[in-house]
């Protein structure tokens, strides 16, 4: 592929996904350890809100802790108030008139600059994700690489869709379509991809000419502060982004309900996503638009193992999808649906594979599972495991691991009926439910027996069955003979059906249009 030239006159190389560092390399491992030590030396520092272009403190604060060692305070943060939420939206609204008129090429250049800064500091960012989010080095590297990808991809997409687009010609008319920004966007990202998803949502809003009020998760606020500082270093006007840290649904509600809020971009649980949608749908006094909601919510993702599958590949894909980042992904495989003819063989392979997985603190080289994010999540997952003991048969795991961190064994339940909570409800932890299917038709029926529709996978060598799955497996991201996690920007536009969200297809060619509105212009000539 050759580089393309845009209206700005600048040449931009074709998009390519950011490569991953190999932590088996001694030099890479040494750099990682040095970054972790450097980060550890600065633990406990206080961080402020970015409000109306200034860094400001508040009387109340909260702490971010290391999920591998909860007694270790990573950072302290100012706790925003409802009044701060109102100020943030007002300031972002005032900044919109200037930022929205910034040339698209300049906004794209900002995205490219942020990508370059993250690339330069990748190992430090990895270390921060290991410490604050409890990610293994491999998972942290993938998170940072995806954040870089979002900047590079959305910058190029903005250049592609900027300017006017011709429409069907009419006699004596010049007709065109132009895409313009929406206004103030409230960005509410999750803790499980605290850099990648936060970055992707925020950069998409900014590169399209909107201003942003960012309300990150209270489990990973330092990552958000670090990213906002990168934006400012890259040249973003300070008032174009407002950063509000702090727990509390009241702040989120105030941001969503504000009449000057034009859109909300949310990634998180089904319950909160539905509340965001409900609040945004109700017009407030002085509101002159219908608010747009871009929502990515939960999943109850299934991998089908057909009688004609490569079982080694299938089991490897299930284990990676179910237990990567301790199952704390909306795309995680939480259900394995296995054809009866290979069921017992697959169970034996899953048991051996799960018991070979290494669990430990996130910074430990070579681990497969680190901690879950906090004590509340730990209790919730252990409650699901107790429920599973009554609903199904425990094959492997099932216990919390002694020690300070929030560690749980990779857990596999088998003979799980489709009526069980383990089959129907999102656990968001290292728990896999395995169900026997009578045949391929039954496997498809079971896979679709959920209110969600995010990701899914099928392992089969049969082209006709694969074709059936392509047509009838009702998910937004379907994978054939590979795991159901690890969507790559540009290659696997990501978003789900049903209660999994609004199918926004992040990292795809239509995503930026969700942050813009189309203006049709006809000129008599």
Residue 14 lies in a domain: no
Helix, strand, or coil (residue 203): helix
Active-site residue identified among 151, 330, 333, 484: 330
- Could you tell me how far CA 367 lies from the centroid of its own chain? 22
pLDDT at 248: 79
- Could you tell me how far CA 476 lies from the centroid of its own chain? 15
Question: Which residues does residue 402 pair with via DSSP β-bridges, in sequence order?
Answer: none
Q: CA quadruple 372, 373, 374, 377: dihedral positive or negative?
A: negative
Block means of pLDDT (10 residues each) for the chain, 525 residues, are 44 95 96 95 96 97 97 98 98 98 98 98 98 98 98 98 92 96 98 98 98 98 98 98 92 97 97 97 98 97 98 98 98 98 98 97 96 98 98 98 95 98 98 98 98 98 98 98 98 98 97 98 95
CB 172, CB 525: distance < 8 Å: yes
Residue 2 lies in a domain: no
139 catalytic residue (yes or no): no
94 and 162 both lie in a single domain? yes
293 and 363 both lie in a single domain? no
pLDDT at 1: 34
pLDDT at 10: 58
pLDDT at 9: 42
Helix, strand, or coil (residue 239): helix
Q: Is the pTM of this model over 0.85?
A: yes
Residue 467 lies in a domain: yes
pLDDT at 286: 96
413 and 480 both lie in a single domain? yes
* 332: containing domain: 301-488
Dist CA 416 CA 432 (whole Å): 10
pLDDT at 11: 83
CB 291, CB 261: distance < 8 Å: yes
Question: Which residues does residue 435 pair with via DSSP β-bridges, in sequence order?
Answer: 337
pLDDT at 385: 98
Residue 113 lies in a domain: yes
CA angle 408, 412, 415 (to 5 degrees): 150
Residue 493 lies in a domain: no
pLDDT at 62: 97
122 and 256 both lie in a single domain? yes
434 and 338 both lie in a single domain? yes
CATH number for the domain that contains residue 202: 3.40.605.10
233 catalytic residue (yes or no): no
Residue 93 lies in a domain: yes
Q: CA quadruple 274, 275, 280, 285: dihedral positive or negative?
A: positive
Dist CA 113 CA 435 (whole Å): 48
231 and 351 both lie in a single domain? no
429 and 291 both lie in a single domain? no
Q: CA of 482: how far to CAs of 206, 313, 314, 315, 459, in Å?
A: 34, 8, 8, 10, 7
Going by C-beta distance under 8 Å and a sequence separation of 6 or more, which residues neighbour residue 65? Answer: 71, 72, 73, 74
264 and 280 both lie in a single domain? yes
CATH number for the domain that contains residue 381: 3.40.309.10
| Number of domains into which the chain is organized | 2
255 and 383 both lie in a single domain? no
Residue 498 lies in a domain: no
Active-site residue identified among 18, 296, 363, 391: 296
Helix, strand, or coil (residue 165): strand
426 and 472 both lie in a single domain? yes
CB 304, CB 337: distance < 8 Å: yes
Residue 223 is encoded by which pair of tokens? 């990552």
Helix, strand, or coil (residue 88): helix
Residue 79 is encoded by which pair of tokens? 């706790």
292 and 379 both lie in a single domain? no
210 and 117 both lie in a single domain? yes
Residue 13 lies in a domain: no
């Amino acid at each position: 592929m050759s580089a393309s030239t845009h209206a700005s006159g600048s040449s931009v190389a074709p998009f390519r996904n950011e490569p991953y560092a190999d932590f088996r390399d001694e030099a890479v491992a040494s750099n990682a350890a040095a970054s972790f030590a450097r980060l550890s030396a600065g633990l406990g520092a206080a961080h402020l809100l970015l409000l109306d272009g200034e860094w400001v403190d508040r009387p109340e604060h909260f702490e971010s802790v290391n999920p591998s060692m909860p007694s270790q305070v990573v950072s302290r943060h100012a706790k925003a108030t409802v009044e701060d939420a109102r100020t943030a939206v007002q300031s972002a609204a005032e900044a919109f008139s200037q930022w929205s008129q910034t040339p698209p090429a300049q906004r794209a250049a900002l995205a490219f600059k942020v990508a370059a800064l993250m690339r330069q500091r990748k190992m430090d960012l990895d270390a921060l994700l290991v410490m604050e989010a409890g990610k293994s080095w491999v998972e942290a590297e993938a998170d940072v690489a995806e954040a870089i990808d979002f900047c590079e991809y959305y910058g190029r997409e903005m250049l592609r869709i900027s300017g006017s687009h011709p429409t069907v010609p009419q006699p004596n008319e010049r007709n065109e379509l132009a895409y313009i920004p929406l206004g103030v966007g409230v960005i509410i990202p999750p803790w499980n991809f605290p850099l990648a998803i936060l970055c992707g949502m925020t950069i998409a809003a900014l590169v399209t000419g909107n201003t942003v009020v960012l309300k990150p998760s209270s489990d990973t606020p330092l990552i958000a502060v670090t990213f906002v500082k990168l934006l400012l270093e890259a040249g973003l006007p300070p008032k174009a982004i407002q950063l509000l840290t702090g727990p509390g649904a009241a702040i989120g509600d105030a941001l969503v309900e504000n009449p000057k809020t034009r859109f909300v971009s949310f990634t998180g649980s089904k319950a909160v996503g539905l509340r965001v949608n409900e609040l945004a749908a109700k017009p407030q006094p002085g509101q002159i638009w219908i608010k747009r909601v871009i929502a990515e919510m939960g999943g109850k993702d299934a991998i089908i193992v057909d009688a004609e599958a490569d079982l080694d590949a299938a089991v490897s894909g299930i284990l990676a999808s179910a237990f990567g980042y301790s199952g704390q992904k909306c795309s995680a495989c939480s259900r394995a649906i296995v054809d009866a003819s290979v069921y017992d063989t697959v169970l034996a392979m899953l048991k051996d594979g799960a018991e070979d997985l290494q669990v430990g603190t996130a910074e430990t080289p070579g681990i497969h599972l680190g901690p879950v994010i906090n004590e509340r999540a730990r209790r919730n997952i252990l409650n699901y495991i107790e429920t599973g003991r009554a609903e199904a048969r425990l094959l492997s795991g099932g216990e919390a691991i002694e020690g300070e961190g929030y560690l749980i064994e990779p857990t596999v339940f088998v003979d799980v009926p489709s009526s069980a909570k383990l089959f129907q409800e999102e656990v968001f932890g290292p728990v896999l439910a395995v169900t026997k299917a009578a045949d391929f038709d039954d496997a498809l029926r079971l896979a679709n027996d959920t209110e969600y529709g995010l990701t899914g996978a099928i392992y089969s060598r049969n082209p006709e069955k694969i074709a059936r799955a392509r047509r009838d497996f009702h998910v937004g991201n379907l994978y054939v003979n590979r795991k159901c996690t690890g969507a790559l920007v540009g290659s696997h536009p990501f978003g789900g059906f049903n209660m999994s969200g609004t199918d926004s297809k992040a990292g795809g060619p239509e995503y930026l249009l969700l942050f813009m509105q189309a203006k049709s212009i006809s000129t008599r000539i």
